[in-house]
Amino acid sequence: MTVRQIGEIAVHSPLKRALLLVIAVLFFLSGTAFAVPPVMYNVTIYDGSSVTEVTTAETDANKILENAGIKIDASKADEVDLCKFTKLDGSEIIINRGVQVSLNSFDGTEKTVYANGTVKDALEKAEMTVPSGSVTNYSMDTKLKKNMVIEIYGVYNVTVKCDGAELTFIVSGKTVNDVINTLQIELNGDDFTEPALNEELSEGMVIEVLRVTYAERSETEAIDYETEYTYSDSLNKGRTKVLEKGIKGEKVVVYRDRYINGQLADTTIASENVTKEPVRELVQSGTKVYSKPTSIPVGKPISELKAPASLTIGADGAPTNYKSVINAQATAYCIPGGITSTGKVAQAGYIAVDPKEIPYGTQMYIVSADGNYIYGYCIAADTGSYIYDVDWTVDLFMNSTEQCVNWGRRDIIIYIL
């Protein structure tokens, strides 16, 4: 049988050739009726902290975002990053949202813009420049954040006094703290500056760094005792008598001295330790009301001292002008030719007192409470042991023993002149 080659198909007969033609037509028709379906792939969309996974056959990134319900607002500086969008499985679409930032310049310029990227991008978007020598509060490559405030600082000549040195610098900043940081001045503990760190800079400003140090010292100090009062009608009102003497206590006080640049600024108490407790003092206070003489004193005064011209006696036998009145008791003594405690020659009119109650030199006018005697004008000039034993007792000098015996011990009224 004769065989002829057509391509690589051996055609053996006209019938077979017809059959092959039919097969070819059917193959062509099948390719038209049954098209190959589009390729589906996965895309990850990163929108800030939000991550969206989509499966799509779409090859247009904007269409993919639209189908995913994600809007891009160019007016707010939103940008779409397609660096990793390959239109294949595992593709990524990254959305960089613009943020609102404020920009303030030392020259008074203030702007608010939407920008994406870094501080440098925000400055360009706001069409603001940083003059030579000036700086911003953020570095140029700092990533923008929502509501960020970018400051452009001015340039100032300032004088800084620190650790005994005084130097002038040209600095850029907004506050005193910026100068301290720029000059790398370390503030330790309670160190501070004048003006304060938050004060805004001005041309020619003088900034002083004040170093603060502390020192402690201990001192032993007395503690005052408390006084407790009891009341008695045997004592004249306003008079007191110590029944139990108080004793002061002791404590060790630690003081903390604060020095500013070596000079003492103030002192506080760091601690107190009582080493000896105080003992209270018990005092008896009189409630007895002053009583006038039972009768008007008459007769010649016993005192031989000359009364001052200012002393006048009223119709009631009492001085017309006096400072105070004391109800007391008086004894009498006689030491002819004796010398008083104050160095005066003893005589009627110089009386013995307790100097703690009636100071030496006090001028008085004394009468007996029963009105039988007038001792008269006298001066506190002497003292004696007996008068310390009884509250408010004075010893009146008499010219004779007989006078002393006649006097005995009597209630008296002392008018302090």
Give the full edge-to-edge strand order of the sheet including 165-173: 165-173, 154-162, 206-210, 192-194
Q: What range does the domain containing 127 cover?
A: 99-152
Residue among 105, 199, 200 nearest 150 (CA): 105
Q: What is the pLDDT of residue 389?
A: 54
Q: Which two tokens mark 173?
A: 């900043």
Cα separation of 285 and 357, whole Å?
Answer: 14
Q: Is the pLDDT of residue 218 over 90?
A: yes
SS3 298: coil
SS3 401: helix
Same domain, 319 and 367: yes
Same domain, 68 and 158: no
Q: What is the CATH number of the domain that holds 68?
A: 3.10.20
Which tens digit of pLDDT belongs to each residue from 84-110?
999 999 999 999 999 999 999 988 999
Same domain, 158 and 146: no
**Around Cβ 49, how many Cβ atoms within 10 Å?**
5
Indicate the average pLDDT of the chain: 87
Q: Is the pLDDT of residue 392 over 80?
A: no
Among candidate residues 192, 210, 228, the one where a domain is terminated: 210
Which tens digit of pLDDT belongs to each residue from 325-378?
888 889 999 988 889 999 999 999 999 998 988 999 999 999 998 888 999 999
- Total domains in the chain come to 5
Q: What is the CATH number of the domain that holds 158?
A: 3.10.20.90
Q: What is the pLDDT of residue 8?
A: 39
**Around Cβ 52, how many Cβ atoms within 10 Å?**
16
Same domain, 201 and 219: no
Among candidate residues 249, 264, 287, the one where a domain is terminated: 287
Cα separation of 49 and 238, whole Å?
Answer: 87
Which tens digit of pLDDT belongs to each residue from 231-248?
988 777 767 888 999 999
Q: What is the CA radius of gyration of the chain?
A: 56
Same domain, 281 and 354: no
* Residue 21 belongs to a domain: no
Contacts of 119 (CB under 8 A, 6+ apart): 136, 138, 139, 140, 141, 142, 144, 150
Among candidate residues 287, 309, 333, the one where a domain is terminated: 287
Same domain, 384 and 331: yes
Q: What is the CATH number of the domain that holds 336?
A: 2.40.40.10
**Tally of residues, the chain:** 417
Q: What is the CATH number of the domain that holds 242?
A: 2.20.230.10
Same domain, 82 and 68: yes
Q: Which amino acid is at 142?
A: T
Q: Is the pLDDT of residue 62 over 90?
A: yes
